[in-house]
Amino acid sequence: MLAYLDHHASTPCDPAVVDAMAPWWSEQCANPSSRGHRPGLAAAAAVEQARARVTEALGGGPAEVVFTSGATEANNLALKGVAEAALERGEPRRRLVSVVTEHRAVLDPLRYLERHGFPLTLLPVGSDGLVDPQRLEEALTPEVLLLSVMAANNEIGVLQPITAMAERCRRQGVLLHVDAAQAAGHIPLSLAVLGADLLSVSGHKCYGPKGVGALLRRPGLALAPQLHGGGQEGGLRGGTVAVPLVVGLGEALRRAEADRPARASRLGALRDQLWSGLEALGGIRCNGAGAPRLPHNLNVTVDGVDGAALHRLLRRRLAVSSGSACSQGSPSHVLAALGHSRAEAAASIRFGLGRGTTAAEVAVAIDAVAEALRQLRG
Ligand SMILES: *Cc1c(COP(=O)(O)O)cnc(C)c1O
């Protein structure tokens, strides 16, 4: 049995979501922008229903939803869109603030903007993965345009206190973008309650299809489009809307919200079992231990073993990773930010439990690590 415990890299698409998408591939093929005939109007109605479901799942609004190809594109639209809009209206605020443990889909656009006249401050985190509130306070100077902070970390599952950060931002006149790719459908989340201006989500991280996501925007917030042509999505994202995929995203978020509380408590209990089993093996530390975390996440560092050898042994029975799927080859910048060496980061295991995870799979995971340690530690 191979246990798939890499749900932070991607989740299986819910079969009910696949069913909901089915008619929109071939049977109902019309372009949702074709308002001159009934099939086109039906496609447009399906897109609007999906939009309503996304809003509903993320707190009910007020929020505008822009469909994108995923959270990467949503992050790019949020960050470059805010920066360009500020440039166009001659806004004196230019500085962007974020955190060293963000996903590359935030860090890379921010570094791009830094090369184009938007100075960047990256806040460090403590050994628990949390931003020091005092450091944040000091960083939010009058020259700051926007703060970007992820709701839940994709490697260590740590949850930053977004609501408190949003309050600080409001006081300082700073915009707030939240990358919620790992949080949507997993923890309670609402653009309005959080007090965020922009929020990114991804279909394949919440039991929906790959290749679709959304950016939620506070109504009225100025954003410059990053994909020109066609005028779709209120002029913010040109290109024919991917009807089957956005229908899938809406259905996936609706279903993820429906079973979220029960799933979170079941997976939290399984995650705790996994940790007790691993802790008992000795020489294993839990990353982000002191901080609030996603219930289905566990990230550990194994002392005194070679990371490559460890993962070679685990591969036989487990689908897990040592870091983000998006930065294969380089050591995790998240674990480095917690103070880990390259070797320690390599000898780390990220477990991501999911809707289909069973107690038997958790037992396999504990046994696979125990067996690997017997071989490696001798
Ligand atoms: C997966 C992920 C992304 C990228 O999402 P895609 O939809 O695959 O582009 C961005 N941010 C975080 C935190 C993620 O986990």
pLDDT (tens digit per residue) in 151-203: 999 999 999 999 999 999 999 999 999 999 999 999 999 998 899 999 999 99
Stretch among 127-131, 215-219, 236-240, 330-334 having the lowest mean pLDDT: 330-334
Taking all residues of the chain, what is their mean pLDDT, rounded to a whole number?
96
**Residue located nearest, by CA, to atom 2 of ligand 1:** 181
Taking the centre of ligand 1 as the mean of its atom positions, its distance from the CA of residue 172, in whole angstroms, is: 28
What pLDDT score was predicted for residue 193? 86
Active site annotation includes 13: no
What pLDDT score was predicted for residue 325? 60
Across 280-285, average pLDDT: 97
**Residue located nearest, by CA, to atom 14 of ligand 1:** 181
Q: Tell me: the pLDDT tens digits for 285-325? A: 999 999 999 999 999 999 999 999 999 999 999 999 987 66
Q: Tell me: the pLDDT tens digits for 78-89? A: 999 999 999 999
Taking the centre of ligand 1 as the mean of its atom positions, its distance from the CA of residue 201, in whole angstroms, is: 8
What pLDDT score was predicted for residue 59? 87
Is the pTM higher than 0.95? yes
Q: Tell me: the pLDDT tens digits for 24-33? A: 999 999 999 9
Could you tell me whether strands 318-319 and 3-4 are parallel, antiparallel, or unpaired per DSSP bridges? parallel
CA distances from 187 to 106, 154, 171, 201, 271 (A): 21, 13, 26, 13, 16
Q: Which CATH class is domain 3-9+260-377?
A: alpha beta
What pLDDT score was predicted for residue 324? 65
Residues of the chain with CATH 3.90.1150.10: 3-9+260-377
Residues of the chain with CATH 3.40.640.10: 15-255
pLDDT-derived band at 60 (thresholds 50, 70, 90) equals confident
**Residue located nearest, by CA, to atom 12 of ligand 1:** 181
Rounded Cα gap, residues 27 and 19, in angstroms: 13
Atom of ligand 1 nearest to the CA of 325: 1
Taking the centre of ligand 1 as the mean of its atom positions, its distance from the CA of residue 361, in whole angstroms, is: 25
> What residues are in contact with ligand 1 under a 6 Å CB criterion?
70-72, 103, 105, 150, 154, 179, 181-182, 202, 205, 213
Share of the chain above pLDDT 70, in %: 98
Catalytic position from the list 13, 29, 169, 326: 326
Report whether CATH 3.40.640.10 matches the domain 15-255: yes
210 has a pLDDT exceeding 60: yes
Taking the centre of ligand 1 as the mean of its atom positions, its distance from the CA of residue 38, in whole angstroms, is: 36
